[in-house]
Structure 1
Amino acid sequence: MKVTVFSQISIDGKLTLGSQASSKPLFKHFDDEDMRFIHKFRGEVDAIMVGRNTIVTDDPQLNNRFGSGRHPIRIIPTASLDFSLSSKVLSSPEHTIIVTTEQARDHAMVDQIRAQGKEVLFSGIDRVDFKQLFPLLEARGIKHIMVEGGGYLNWQVFNLDLVDEIMLMQLPIIIGGSETTTLTDGEGYQDIDMTNAFKLHAFEARTHYNFLHFKREDERCSAH
């Protein structure tokens, strides 16, 4: 299964203005053509994955609103299930998979989510186990996932070496802030030999942003 991390970032790698903040202010820099680029890619993948924090702060619909492409399956990993039943990913008709843990199997939200016609998967005991999850998703016919995560979700997939390519829309702005969400947060690496290596595949200076496309240094499209 192919995994693409797709993000809008500042020059200094920030995704938001502040910790746990919405990413929507960054999108003010984009015009309709830029948004079509994002949605066109959504229409080319099988699924899009975002974390629970994105659902709470942005309440995105995560569909393809431009062009004739398909709507991706929406995948939301969350151990807490702490988000509103009125969230667009639950209230709109597109296919949604909520991924949670075995400890949450008896959580009241599980039945409520299913009552809205959405699917619930269990992976991991007390934290979502992505190594276990990805084969489950592939068994459902998902061959290409677009990860539009925040720093924590992105760190999970990078740390487990699940990412095949990175596509970045880099805005010409500096945000700063030691607590501001970056492309990857989490605990990070203390050993350079542990880091993930990627090779710049394409670069294009566009009107409102720079587009950077990185692929795995070994050009592997992994089965994970």
Structure 2
Amino acid sequence: MLEIKNINVRYGPIHALKNISISVGESEIVTVVGSNGAGKSSLLRAIAGTVKPSKGNIFFMEKKINSLSAPSRVKSGLTLVPEGRQIFVSMTVEENLLLGAHSQNRSQVKNLVESIFDRFSNLASRRYQLASVLSGGEQQMLAIGRAMVAKPKLMMLDEPSLGLSPILVGQLFELIKELHSEGISILIVEQNTKLALKTAHRGYVLELGSVRLEGTVSQLAADKILAEAYLGESV
């Protein structure tokens, strides 16, 4: 479904991603873990089209998408729930969802938005309120809902549990499993390595802009270096 081949990203003199190659298959949950500054967010932005790679290719649904704009990638079924949610706090909950549906046929928009309110009853009760009044958990649900109305084939989530309570984190990952069961492939960057490995099928470990490790989650969980660095286990 998604194949990244030798992607490089530079910010001036900073070489953020160095020959990164990863893939996500249909009906798969893949996680990318690593320390701050490893290049995880840069990878998702390059896939989403908000950052232009200096080298390498991105294929989605067997088509090269390097030249596609970010909105065109959304229209093709590739969505990103960004770190920090990045919702529009001066707009209502409903208006935020309508923005997410801009790539869809007008006749479908109302039903798509209502489907989000059916799923998230707490958002439905606040549909005409400004997004600024939502709690952190509600804002994250709104960000995910905004991605869902674009009818994604693949949803990318960048640090979705950041700032959430343990209870909300558990609910969030149950939602991710639900979306996967409905046929949406998932690529998730997550600070909670244990939970990410528990949820995903495969994973990649980034270190200083390069892939340090890759494999099934059982293979990664058994790796001594990963266990010490990211799982807090002394091996």
Flag the structure with higher helix content.
2
Determine if the TM-score, normalized by the shorter chain, exceeds 0.5: no
TM-score, length basis structure 1? 0.37
TM-score, length basis structure 2? 0.36
